[in-house]
């Protein structure tokens, strides 16, 4: 039974059999081809048996295994490595079919290669997941054939494995590297250092023209016989909360990724930068109620806690209750904090329903409301209208785009900071806003 399960007919076999059938067909008119057709049939049978002997004389002719990382990064390229080893005493042609997780909906994966006797090879392929959660890889199927290519032997390796897809830690590490190497400006991120006048002392230095005379240290001046001043730096360990709306408004997809996942990836990258700057980071998620609360802390372990919570966040199909959120913030966050609120408003009327709650939050905290541009509408606006229907669609798109700009003005008028951003630029714009607030001493 194992023999029949492992035996497969090579695609070239049908070319051979078609040639033999053609000879028999031609022999109907030309008798001389009849005997030639039988000779070809006999040759095909002999070579087929020899091919089977070569393939099945070695029990473990091919070895293979898959190497996976412990976790995948959402919306990024993740590398998967597959090892192949030929234990035959001859070259073999291999066709590898890896059983990818069902989320990818890819049923045409195939890798072909040729291995010499006792040769091994490792090939890699990249996959991009667009959903968080568990991904199950199946078996590795390897079809080996000789140079005759009449039959193929199937090797199946039970290499089933589960991999969890987490928020984009690749994006997080990229921004961390840029921050540590002071290269944030290469990605449009502002790196601004400002000497603060808060109560966190940095050092005593010589006075130079332009320094604030209010910071002169008279004791040090008397000892050194030269003007010396105290230099201060911005206060550290400020509480910063990322608040993510998980209602149906965040289920809208852009470039295969939901708005919720854009917000989650940005939260992880931004929180890591804030921790590097010694601020406290925490988070909340809410829809009809507040589901997850992570208290702000500047401990490095807090990033792992955030990562695990973000991994399990899912979009709900109900409306967001900003009133409940306002009450929860009053109870849970007592110290003035920077609040980054990820949500989405498509209409000015939707904003006005929630504006009283946003104003209430902004009275005590530094609130930044982040919402998204509709990139599909932007593309429609740029297109040239060629008929009446296209003009209608373009007009409606411009109306929605204009409403987004009205929302920004309405928020600014109410004393609420805002970021209107394309989903792909979310992380950059949020980090920019954070660095801007730090440079201005607002936090």
pLDDT for position 195: 46
pLDDT for position 188: 52
Secondary structure of residue 441 in the 3-state scheme: coil
Which carries the bigger pLDDT value, residue 227 or residue 194?
227
Looking up tokens 């001493």 gives 441
In this prediction, residue 64 has a pLDDT band, given cuts at 50, 70 and 90, of: very high
- Arithmetic mean of pLDDT, 97-108: 91
- Arithmetic mean of pLDDT, 429-433: 88
In this prediction, residue 207 has a pLDDT band, given cuts at 50, 70 and 90, of: confident
What's the angle, vertex CA 312, arms to CA 310 and CA 318, rounded to 5? 95
- Give yes or no for residue 389 having a pLDDT over 90: no
- Give yes or no for residue 348 having a pLDDT over 50: yes
Give the E-state strand segments of 274-416 in sequence order: 280-286, 290-297, 338-342, 366-372
- Give yes or no for residue 42 having a pLDDT over 90: yes
Q: What is the pTM of this model?
A: 0.81
In this prediction, residue 196 has a pLDDT band, given cuts at 50, 70 and 90, of: very low
- Arithmetic mean of pLDDT, 13-17: 94
Distance CA 205, CA 217 (A): 9
Distance CA 103, CA 7 (A): 30
pLDDT for position 202: 65
In this prediction, residue 194 has a pLDDT band, given cuts at 50, 70 and 90, of: very low
In this prediction, residue 197 has a pLDDT band, given cuts at 50, 70 and 90, of: very low
pLDDT for position 291: 87
In this prediction, residue 401 has a pLDDT band, given cuts at 50, 70 and 90, of: confident
- Arithmetic mean of pLDDT, 286-298: 90
Question: What six digits make up the tokens of 99?
Answer: 């059983």
pLDDT for position 388: 84
pLDDT for position 232: 65
Average pLDDT, the chain: 87
pLDDT for position 23: 93
- Give yes or no for residue 187 having a pLDDT over 60: no
Q: Specify whether the CB–CB gap between 347 and 402 falls below 8 A.
A: no
pLDDT for position 225: 82
Closest CA to 230 of 255, 196, 257: 196
Give all domains of the chain, ordered by start, each with its CATH number: 1-166 (2.60.40.10), 169-193+235-440 (3.40.50.410), 200-233 (no CATH)
- Give yes or no for residue 437 having a pLDDT over 90: no
Which carries the bigger pLDDT value, residue 181 or residue 231?
231
Distance CA 94, CA 370 (A): 51
pLDDT for position 183: 52
pLDDT for position 203: 73
The per-residue pLDDT for range 227-284, each reduced to its tens digit, is 888 876 555 678 999 999 999 889 888 888 999 999 999 999 999 999 988 889 999 9
Secondary structure of residue 138 in the 3-state scheme: coil
pLDDT for position 35: 92
112-121, 127-136, 236-245, 257-266: least confident range: 236-245
- Give yes or no for residue 402 having a pLDDT over 60: yes
- Arithmetic mean of pLDDT, 153-158: 92
- Arithmetic mean of pLDDT, 390-412: 87
The per-residue pLDDT for range 298-316, each reduced to its tens digit, is 888 899 999 999 999 988 7
* Percent share of the chain, pLDDT over 70: 93
pLDDT for position 358: 94
């Amino acid at each position: 039974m194992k023999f029949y399960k492992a035996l497969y007919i090579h695609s070239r076999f049908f070319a051979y059999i078609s040639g033999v059938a053609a000879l028999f067909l031609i022999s109907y008119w030309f008798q001389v081809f009849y005997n030639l057709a039988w000779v070809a049939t006999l040759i095909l049978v002999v070579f087929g048996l020899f091919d089977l002997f070569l393939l099945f004389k070695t029990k473990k002719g091919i070895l293979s295994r898959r190497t996976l990382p412990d976790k995948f990064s959402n919306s990024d390229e993740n590398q998967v490595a597959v090892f192949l080893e030929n234990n035959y005493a001859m070259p073999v042609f291999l066709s590898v079919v890896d059983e990818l997780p069902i989320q990818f909906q890819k049923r045409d994966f195939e890798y072909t290669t040729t291995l010499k006797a006792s040769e091994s090879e490792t090939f890699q392929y990249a996959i991009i997941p667009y959903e968080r959660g568990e991904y199950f890889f199946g078996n590795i199927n390897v079809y080996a054939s000789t140079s005759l290519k009449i039959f193929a032997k199937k090797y199946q390796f039970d290499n089933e494995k589960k991999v969890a897809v987490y928020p984009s830690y690749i994006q997080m590490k990229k921004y961390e590297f840029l921050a540590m190497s002071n290269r944030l400006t290469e990605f449009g991120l502002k790196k601004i250092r400002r000497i603060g006048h808060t109560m966190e002392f940095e050092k005593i230095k010589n006075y130079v023209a332009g320094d604030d005379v209010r910071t002169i240290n008279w004791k040090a001046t008397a000892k050194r016989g030269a003007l010396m001043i105290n230099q201060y730096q911005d206060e550290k360990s400020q509480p910063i909360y990322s608040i993510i709306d998980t209602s149906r408004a965040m289920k809208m997809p852009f470039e295969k990724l939901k708005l919720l996942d854009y917000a989650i990836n940005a939260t992880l990258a931004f929180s890591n930068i804030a921790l590097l700057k010694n601020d406290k980071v925490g988070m909340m998620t809410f829809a009809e109620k507040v589901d997850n609360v992570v208290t702000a802390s500047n401990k490095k372990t807090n990033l792992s806690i955030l990562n695990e919570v973000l991994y399990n966040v899912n979009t709900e199909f109900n409306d967001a209750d900003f009133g409940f959120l306002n009450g929860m913030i009053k109870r849970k966050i007592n110290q003035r904090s920077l609040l980054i609120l990820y949500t989405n408003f498509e209409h000015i009327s939707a904003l006005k329903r929630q504006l009283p709650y946003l104003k209430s939050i902004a009275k005590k905290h530094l609130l930044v409301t982040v919402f998204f541009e509709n990139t599909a509408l932007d593309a429609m606006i740029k297109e040239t209208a060629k008929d009446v229907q296209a003009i209608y669609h373009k007009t409606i798109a411009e109306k929605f785009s204009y409403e987004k700009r009205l929302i920004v003005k309405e928020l600014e008028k109410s004393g609420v900071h805002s970021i209107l951003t394309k989903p792909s630029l979310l992380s950059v714009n949020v980090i920019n806003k954070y660095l801007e607030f730090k440079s201005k001493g607002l936090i």
